[in-house]
Structure 1
Amino acid sequence: MLKEERHHLILDLLNNEGKLIATELSSRLNVSEDTIRRDLRELDGMGVLHRVHGGALLKGASTVKFEEKFNQAPEAKTHIAEVGLKLIRNDQVIIIDGGTTTLTFAQQLPFDLKATVITNSPPVAVALSHHPNIEVVMLGGRLFKESLVNTGIATIQALEDIRADIYFMGTHSVHPQTGISIPDQEEAFIKRKMVNISAETVVLAEAHKLGTASTYVAAHVNEISYLVTESCVSSNVLIEYEKLGITVLQ
């Protein structure tokens, strides 16, 4: 079998099965484990899969500009936001981080909600500026223009003395084994800190983000309280998260 044929077959198997184990793949394709590891390394370098220890996972969607991403699947984002609102109560301290789904969530918050919202996302802060009973705490730092969030040591330090009731997290990839992961390391540090200071963490994720992985882990699955996703996701996919103690809402 030519290398190109093998690469196509590996990608077909990954798309159908969601993950690949190198030792099993070696037997299935009747080639050495060294050959499989080299194939996975090359395919990872091409950006078409995410290589992990012992195998490979589906790669999260390619990064696009915030404005373009915001206009993708607006109905799905709105439905996810509406479900997430069921977890909100008056007088909570709420963290909402950056992302187009979390921005949609912020835009859906009831106008009469009384709460404190802490965010490192300028678009989220602006969206809440006209809510009369929401106190908005804007975290400073260096603006990461790709995601429109503030990051860096100043953001971490601002979170040190905060204890939140609930954290609504936007993400790039969600996987039952690797957890929550994103392409940027500094943003991952911020998310990890937000998880650590929050009583509950809610991940808002569209269907295409499930079962994928990215470069930097922001949270492990056992740190997630709720996963809110689209109603189209099958129970066979979601049961893997529910087995880990995560409450899944659709």
Structure 2
Amino acid sequence: MAANKKSLRQQRILGELDLEPALRIADLAERLNVSNETIRRDFDELTSQGLINRTYGGAVRRHASEPGLNERHQLHIAERESIAKQSIPVLAGARHIMIGSGATTVHVAKRLAVTMNDLTVITHSFGVATVLAINPTIRVIMAPGLYHAQEGAMHGAQTVRFLENYRVEWAILGASGLDGDGASDALIEAADVYSVMMERATRSMIVADHTKFNQAFPARYCDWTSVDVLVSDESPMGVLDETIRAGGCTIKAPTRS
């Protein structure tokens, strides 16, 4: 009976993580009316089965791929707005920027459109180009290529060759996962574009919320020695924090209360 009770509880945990991409141990323990230690043991078992990834104080569902962009736009809105707000002071004085695709980078582009002027932005993302259009002083250069409908962006060899013709001060990129090896993306084609954007930029910024911590996806596009700034809604903890800083990357996030 105890084993059956544990199995039902772990199925409930997976169900909760399907509804919310990241959950804290304390929150789950309260919902399921069990101790924090019970949830920790469940997390350990589910992690060993490859069903979840542990984060600092919680867990996230492990997926081989990300939801589509439209679905991601409905998640973590407050966190992404916080990231966008923090990113702007770092970009002060920039005149030429490359921006990758993704839900978080669209939030950054929205903030750029209302706070900065006289920019040239090179992007492969239609979402980024659209939100920048509200500011007539921002010149948008759209990269050509093969259209990826789920991501709302251009990819492929033509996109990469086009970007290689430019040099900018900043590349602003999202990520599906952040772990000790660097930043990775679920979409291999996107990783190819992000890599060349970083190569063509003097400095690079990754914008990603805390649910991406300690997650790895198929296409790694950089290690931490290649990233100048990580902007997030929370600071990573433990080994991930140490690894990022050891690579020379600055972490910009709200101070924990």
Q: What is the TM-score with the length of structure 1 in the denominator?
A: 0.75
Give 1:208's aligned residue. 211
- Is the 1:111–1:132 contact (alpha carbons within 8 Å) kept by the matching residues of 2? no
> In the alignment, which of 5, 9, 12 is matched to residue 43 of structure 2?
12
Give 2:185's aligned residue. 182
Residues of 1 paired with 2:79 and 2:179: CA distance? 19
* C-alpha distance 183-14 of structure 1, shift in aligned 2 (>3 A): farther
RMSD of aligned C-alpha atoms? 2.8
* SS of structure 1 residue aligned to 2:205: strand
**1:20-68 deviations in Å (ceiling 9; x for gaps):** xxxxxxxxxxxxxxxxxxxx8xx56xxx369xxxxxxx94685212112
1:102 matches 2:133: no
Correspondence list, 1:113-132, <5 A: 113-132=117-136
**1:157-200 deviations in Å (ceiling 9; x for gaps):** 11121011001101100112x21111222111111111111111
Give 1:92's aligned residue. 95
* SS of structure 1 residue aligned to 2:247: coil
* C-alpha distance 151-10 of structure 1, shift in aligned 2 (>3 A): farther
Aligned residues: 210
* SS of structure 2 residue aligned to 1:94: strand
* SS of structure 2 residue aligned to 1:180: strand
- Is the 1:61–1:172 contact (alpha carbons within 8 Å) kept by the matching residues of 2? no
Give 2:139's aligned residue. 135
> In the alignment, which of 154, 162, 168 is matched to residue 166 of structure 2?
162
* SS of structure 2 residue aligned to 1:213: coil
Residues of 1 paired with 2:119 and 2:176: CA distance? 27
- Is the 1:242–1:248 contact (alpha carbons within 8 Å) kept by the matching residues of 2? yes
Give 2:230's aligned residue. 227
Shift of 1:212: 1.0
* C-alpha distance 122-243 of structure 1, shift in aligned 2 (>3 A): same
Correspondence list, 1:61-100, <5 A: 62-90=65-93, 92-100=95-103
- Is the 2:46–2:52 contact (alpha carbons within 8 Å) kept by the matching residues of 1? no
Residues of 1 paired with 2:132 and 2:218: CA distance? 31
* Structure 1 unpaired stretches of 5+: 17-39, 51-57
Identity rate, percent: 21
Residues of 1 paired with 2:250 and 2:127: CA distance? 28
Residues of 2 paired with 1:220 and 1:167: CA distance? 15
Q: Which amino acid aligns with 1:136?
A: V
Shift of 1:13: 3.2
* Structure 2 unpaired stretches of 5+: 1-6, 11-39, 54-60
> In the alignment, which of 127, 144, 156 is matched to residue 152 of structure 1?
156
Q: What is the TM-score with the length of structure 2 in the denominator?
A: 0.73
Residues of 2 paired with 1:203 and 1:73: CA distance? 16
